[in-house]
Amino acid sequence: AQSVTQPDIHITVSEGASLELRCNYSYGATPYLFWYVQSPGQGLQLLLKYFSGDTLVQGIKGFEAEFKRSQSSFNLRKPSVHWSDAAEYFCAVGYGGSQGNLIFGKGTKLSVKP
Amino acid sequence: ETGVTQTPRHLVMGMTNKKSLKCEQHLGHNAMYWYKQSAKKPLELMFVYSLEERVENNSVPSRFSPECPNSSHLFLHLHTLQPEDSALYLCASSQDLGRSLGYTEAFFGQGTRLTVV
């Protein structure tokens, strides 16, 4: 069965430090991969997505993610975190033919220290 | 602002009440979705509508009843809910289901925080 694992429930980083949020997936075929961000009291906003092609994808707000098929991973990175990046981040895998068939991870909450 | 608006933002209801959640999008999208976000659980897809027809129902209890009167509006009718139904209910829309064009981006509303007492 398809699944998405975000092993870190909560991460705290200092402002200006680099960030990497982990995501591993289990899916038999080539996955469609997404990262979403959710600020408190808000809905989900798409940060970036991978469908095919270059395995390093750039997103909004200075985020990037790298698809590594051999590791079944799609980790999210940012070289320098800003206080406004504090939020919850969700990795998701799409399967079948429908955008609606997204499987989400449980999320990683990011806190940013001044 | 993503173009998907959900009302109300917060709702408290008793187990015997009937209420409805509303979602509206003016993005010209053809597909709309209801998701449930519970504490410490992954987002769960509840319903998918494409061109006003339901295309997926992920074993959701009948106390949740969706309605899609047109491509811009989606409702979730609630009746005789249980306390465990308390959650954030998110609506999303996308251009289409992505079956022929590959995946299209989903735009989420801000959600309705539902508390069942």
Chain A CA closest to residue B32: A100
Please tell me if residue B41 touches chain A, with a CB cutoff of 8 Å.
Answer: yes
Q: Which whole-number Å values give the CA distances from A83 to A15, A86, A113, B59, B82, in the listed order? A: 6, 6, 7, 40, 38
Closest CA to A102 of B68, B56, B77, B70: B56
What are the pLDDT digits (tens) for A16-73?
999 999 999 987 677 788 999 999 878 899 999 998 888 999 999 999 999 999 999 9
- Choose among A4, A99, A105: nearest Cβ to B103: A99
Question: Is B110 near chain A, with CB under 8 Å?
Answer: yes
Q: Which residues pair with A88 in a beta bridge?
A: A38, A109
pLDDT for position B2: 67
Nearest CA in chain B to A109: B40
Q: Compare A78 and A28 and report the one with higher pLDDT.
A: A78
What tokens were used for A85? 């990046």
What residues of B are in contact with residue A45 (Cβ under 8 Å)? 2, 108
How confident is the model at residue B85, as a pLDDT?
A: 96
CB contact under 8 A, B106 and A104: no
Chain B residue with CA closest to A33: the answer is B103
Look at residue B91 and tell me whether its pLDDT is greater than 70: yes
pLDDT band at A97 (very low <50, low <70, confident <90, very high): low
Compute CA A44 distance to the chain's CA centroid, rounded to the nearest angstrom. 12
Q: Is the pLDDT of residue A10 over 90?
A: yes
Q: Number of residue pairs across A and B with CB atoms under 8 Å?
A: 73
- A67 touches A114 (CB < 8 A): no
Chain B residue numbers touching A10 (CB-CB < 8 A)? none
pLDDT at B102: 47
Q: Which residues of A touch B94 (CB under 8 A)?
A: 99-100
CA separation for the pair A19, A55 (Å, rounded): 19
Q: Chain A residue with minimal CA distance to B54?
A: A100
